[in-house]
Amino acid sequence: MKRVLVLPGEGAGLEVITAALDIIGSLEVDLDILHGVVGTSSREAHGSHITDEVIDLAKGSDAVLYGAVQSPPPGVAYRSPVLTLRRELGLFANVRPARPLVPRLSALRPPRRLDVVIVRENTEGLYCCRERDIEGGVVAERLVTRLASGRIHGFAFDWAASHGRRRVTCVHKANVLRRSDGLFLESFREAAAAASGRSGIAADDLHVDAAAERMVVAPSTLDVIVTTNLFGDILSDLAAGLVGGLGFAPSANIGARHALFEPVHGTAPGIAGKGIANPTAAIMSAAMMLDHLGYGSEAGRLEQAVVATLRAGVATRDAGGRHGTRGFARAVKERLARGRRE
């Protein structure tokens, strides 16, 4: 039995994770589901957006299924739950797949089809938040180490090999950031050389601006991208926009021992509480979680049910449909049940 900690958060995060959890309950998987509270409710009850108790529960779990938390206004003390969990659980790899589940929702038309997985280094870069004041401005330090670079590149090649991918592209800006991205690129080439003898996976590299253009004009040339924290954050949102929007963007945060799965979107305060949030990203994140936990067959069935539901014209309003969060999730459950009978 695998233990899963569910942290729905608030706003749309709470709604979509509840929908995804309902669908998981209809699958034949042996999971011990625990529930925890993060976000505003946690701060009101305990004085912090995430407590040490929740962190300990996460450390004792095989996976975390996470929703979204609204950042408070300036002046309110804030301990980001997801950043805290990434750090405490050692989740160094952020994995964000992007592919059009339904052709009509994609901004790209065949043969310009995007099916890319972005592997983003999760612990360093500009997001290490080392900022200091100088006279008339602010300096932000960008951290790149050989240890973290080698780790993420090795992960990218291993992930590509285990998921039937054929090319890994390192995205960087070493022509300008000669020392930091130069180190990142050098480490990639070392990892590519080490992987070439056992995987048969091709390796190349692109400047980040060229990669952004390639994603739009020649998306089929991209397979797995490995990149730094900020570049990965930006490119993954671009990729999501090209295949239908953030409502279709799942993600995984993976470390040596732990993993956390979450939809890329936030709390969506403009629609929160209306029951219309698109749960697809949360459901596909749950499928990624099941695959990670060893339930590959069930994960495949869940993905197929989501795709079949969308292609049958059942969708939420952001995707041109008329269904709400629960209605779409119910249709996916019915599709799963129909598949079992067939």
Helical residues (DSSP H) of 146-223, grouped into ranges: 146-162, 180-199, 208-217
- Please say if 59 is a catalytic residue: no
- Please say if 209 is a catalytic residue: yes
Cβ atoms < 10 Å from Cβ of 41: 14
Half-sphere exposure of 210 (CA within 13 A, CB side): 13
271: its two tokens: 């629609």
- Please say if 295 is a catalytic residue: no
- Please say if 223 is a catalytic residue: no
**Active-site position among 62, 173, 205, 295:** 173
Strands 93-98 and 250-254: antiparallel
Query: CB under 8 Å to 39, separation ≥6 — which residues?
Result: 9, 10, 49, 69, 70, 81
Radius of gyration of the chain (CA): 20
Cβ atoms < 10 Å from Cβ of 320: 11
In whole angstroms, give the CA distance from residue 328 to residue 3.
27
**Active-site position among 32, 52, 56, 209:** 209
**Active-site position among 62, 66, 127, 295:** 127
- Please say if 181 is a catalytic residue: no
**Active-site position among 181, 237, 291, 318:** 237
In whole angstroms, give the CA distance from residue 14 to residue 275.
11
Beta bridge mates, 254: 93, 259
**Active-site position among 205, 233, 291, 318:** 233
Residues involved in catalysis? 127, 173, 209, 233, 237
